[in-house]
Structure 1
Amino acid sequence: MKRNGRCKYQAGFTLIELLVAITILALVAVLSWRGLDQIVRTRDVVTVSMAEERALAQFFDQVGIDVRQAALEREIGQSPMAFGGGQLQIVRQLNLSGQAPRLQVVRYHVPQGRVLRTASPPLATLGQLRAALAAGANMEGWSVVELMGGVVAVNLRAWVPQLGWTANMLDVQTALNKNLSQLTGLRAPNAPPVRSITGIELSVRVVNAQHALTRILLVGE
């Protein structure tokens, strides 16, 4: 008596099929990692770029505030602004709550690619102002704030009425002498103040930018 044998097949994958599946999964993992790495790198670049833009905007805004508060020439007997060699100095009016108006000397300079803003304590008299202007590198008691880094160069020009743009402080001094001589005459009480500089053009070149970024700021406005 014969037994009817039946072939029994076990379901599963062969070794070749497993190797093919593992290879495909490895390729997908590599491609996914490369895509994720590119996304992370792009995110980092965008984050750095946005941080630089915010720092640059803060720098321009702070200079704009200081030049809008520039003191009047007839009150201090000289130009409230001086520039040259990538540096900018501003004598500004400082109005503190509950106190009489004061003056303050603000300086912008760029040591080792960093833009620093140094500001003197409030100055109550012209004598204190003269001492602050003559302080030079000895700025004990002055506040120092770093506004941004990665700066290659800072260039500045001034708009002098009846002359135009100039990067020479001698042009400003000539206009100042003319204005101060005219102040001895009679002027209408409501006449606008006379200024030797009515605007500045500030150009900043940073490391990651192809071109210099420029902003024009009005003085005393």
Structure 2
Amino acid sequence: MMAFRTKRGFTLVELLVAITVLAIVAVLGWRGLDGIVRSRVQLTGTMEQMRGMQLAFAQMQSDLEQLAGKKLLKDRANLAADNARLVFVRTTFPENAASQLQVVSYRVRDGVLTRRESPSTRDLAQLDGLWQAAMSDSDPVAGVAMQGQVDTMGVRVWQGGNWQAPGNGGATAPGADTPLGLEMSLKLRGQATPLVKIFLLGAI
């Protein structure tokens, strides 16, 4: 008579051990994947902030390259700065028209860096009104948001052979020379150190 060998299956204990091991591997894998996703989201946010700052600094550089000289302004102030705003007069060159003057201001308010530009003019009396409106924050022109999550803004000018805070209430006084350089620093929320950009003035 032929003997039949019975097939042996997994015991309940073996199945429980296998399921437990698979559960532990799944949890570890999920934690690793979750960490990768979180890191990627944080890195993407940081890259977007850096991209926004690069665009803001590029716009500032483009504006400051057209900084109007004191001679053109009949010795009026052409730049004012403090730790909340930067205001200056630039020269614009409309197509098929004579050059004009425009007041540009950058401000940090409620964590947002905004840029405003006044209407262009060739009338110095009108320019005085536009300057005063920008300095008193009463200009009616809506600002364009350049960068959010800005904690602080700092400005220094290169005068007398060193960096210093702008004097005379933050403005370049009539009769004073235009600073040769301007240092802008912006500290973003969550960043340990500010981003700093140096612009040449009157030497470009």
TM-score bin, normalised by smaller chain: 0.7 to 0.9
Alignment of 1:39-118 (within 5 A): 39-77=36-74, 78-118=76-116
Conserved 8 A contact 1:120-1:143: no
Match of 1:185 in 2: none
Residues 172, 196 of structure 1: 8 Å contact kept: no
Q: Give the aligned partner of residue 191 of structure 2.
A: 209
Identify the residue that residue 139 of structure 1 maps to in structure 2: 139
Aligned AA for 2:187? Answer: R
Report what 1:128 is aligned to.
126
Give the conservation status (yes or no) of the 8 Å contact 1:66–1:90: no
TM-score normalised to structure 1 length:
0.81
Matched with 1:165 is 163
1:84 CA drift (Å): 2.0
Counterpart in the other structure of 2:200: 218
Aligned residue pair count? 199
Alpha-carbon distance, 1:198 to partner: 1.5
More helix by share: 1
CA distance in 1, matches of 2:52, 2:185: 14
Deviates more, 1:201-210 or 1:5-14: 5-14
Deviations 1:46-89 (A, max 9, x none): 01111111112122222111111101111112131111242110
Letter in 1 for 2:196: T
Residues 101-138 of structure 1 show CA distances to partners (whole Å, capped at 9, x for unaligned) of 12111111111111111111222321221121122333
Structure 2: give runs of 5+ residues left out of the alignment: none
Q: Is the 8 A contact 2:80 2:166 kept in 1?
A: no
Deviation at 1:164, TM superposition (A): 3.1
- The residue that corresponds to 2:154 in the other structure is 155
Return the index of the structure with the highest Cα Rg: 1
Q: Helix, strand or coil for the counterpart of 1:169?
A: coil
1:30 aligns with 2:12: no
* Unaligned ranges ≥5, structure 1: 179-194
Among all aligned residue pairs of Structure 1 and Structure 2, give the percentage whose two residues are the same amino acid: 34
Change (3 A) 1:172 1:121: closer
Equivalent position SS for 2:175: helix
Query: CA separation of 1:81/1:172 partners in 2, compared to 1, >3 Å: closer, same or farther?
Result: closer
**Contact 1:67-1:217 within 8 A present in 2 as well:** yes
| TM superposition shift of 1:11 | 5.1
The alpha carbon displacement at 1:5 in A equals 5.7
Separation of aligned partners in 2, 1:107 and 1:203: 16
Q: Note the C-alpha offset of 1:173.
A: 4.4
Structure 1 ranges of 4+ moved more than 3 A: 171-174
Residues in 2 aligned to 1:115 and 1:83: alpha-carbon distance in whole angstroms: 14
- Matched residues in 1 for 2:172 and 2:88: separation? 15
